[in-house]
């Protein structure tokens, strides 16, 4: 990769950032709510399987992220999964006054914020572990959905462009443990800070 070029993971994250910013800056709240509702209907489905989502999940997707065969590419999986989860997280909340995308609120940090008691810790950690030990996009998307619902119920935002980057890298078996390591560090560094 030439100097100045961005990695595919960064390109995927930037694509999601642009899509969320487009929704945020739209002056038509009806259209925004309709787009988020369409995205929610895509949760749990394969990227590309719902033509009504092609415009938001594939239009202007950088060429390097576009699949070349009959299966969704790593980029398509990461973008699609993240955008549908964002729509779930944003449901019932005003995008302008309570956006559930927040830069710097990485997955481990956001999940750690859910823990207030030792009972919470066992319940939340079990769900987080299930997501982190997933070995396919279908599996991790399923477990992340449960975590997003918990974050949504507590109004805790998440950095969706960063999650996109993480999910892109997570699909490479040789990079998966590195992503898990980052999530663990985020989770436990929050614990250490809260005890200081």
> pLDDT tens across 157-191, in order?
999 999 999 999 999 999 999 999 999 999 998 65
For residue 2, pLDDT beyond 90: no
- Nearest C-alpha neighbor of 120 from the set 153, 145, 88: 153
Q: What is the pLDDT of residues 70-122, one digit of tens each?
A: 999 999 999 999 999 999 999 999 999 999 999 999 999 999 999 998 889 89
- Give me the DSSP letters along 97-161: TS-SB-TT--HHHHHHHT--SHHHHHHHHHHHHHHHT--SHHHHHHHHHHHHHHHHHTT--B-HH
Q: What is the pLDDT of residues 16-70, one digit of tens each?
A: 999 999 999 999 999 999 999 999 999 999 999 999 999 999 999 999 999 999 9
Find the helix packing angle between 8-25 and 160-170, rounded to 10°. Answer: 150
The per-residue pLDDT for 190 is 60
- Nearest C-alpha neighbor of 7 from the set 83, 78, 103, 82: 78
Distance, CA of 12 to CA of 108 (rounded, Å): 20
| pTM for this predicted structure | 0.93
Distance, CA of 43 to CA of 145 (rounded, Å): 8
Contact present, 45 and 52 (Cβ < 8 Å): no
- Nearest C-alpha neighbor of 39 from the set 103, 82, 100: 82
Residue with tokens 């993971």: 9
Q: What is the pLDDT of residues 115-163, one digit of tens each?
A: 998 889 899 999 999 999 999 999 999 999 999 999 999 999 999 999 9
Residue 112: how many other CB atoms lie within 10 Å: 22
């Amino acid at each position: 990769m030439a100097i100045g070029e961005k990695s595919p993971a960064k390109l995927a994250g930037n694509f999601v950032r642009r899509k969320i910013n487009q929704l945020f800056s739209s002056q038509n709240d009806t259209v925004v709510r309709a787009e988020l509702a369409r995205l929610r209907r895509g949760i749990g489905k394969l990227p590309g399987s719902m033509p009504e989502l092609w415009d938001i999940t594939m239009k202007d997707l950088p060429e390097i992220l576009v699949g070349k065969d009959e299966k969704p590419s790593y980029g398509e999986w990461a973008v699609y999964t993240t955008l549908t989860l964002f729509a779930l997280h944003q449901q019932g909340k005003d995008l302008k006054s309570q956006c559930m995308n927040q830069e710097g609120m990485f997955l481990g940090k956001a999940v750690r914020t859910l823990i207030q008691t030792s009972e919470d810790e066992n319940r939340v950690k079990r769900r987080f572990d299930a997501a982190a030990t997933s070995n396919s996009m279908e599996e991790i998307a399923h477990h992340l959905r449960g975590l997003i619902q918990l974050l949504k119920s507590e109004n805790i935002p998440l950095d969706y462009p960063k999650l996109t980057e993480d999910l892109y890298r997570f699909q490479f078996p040789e990079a998966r443990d590195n992503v898990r390591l980052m999530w663990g560090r985020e989770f436990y560094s929050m614990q250490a800070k809260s005890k200081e």
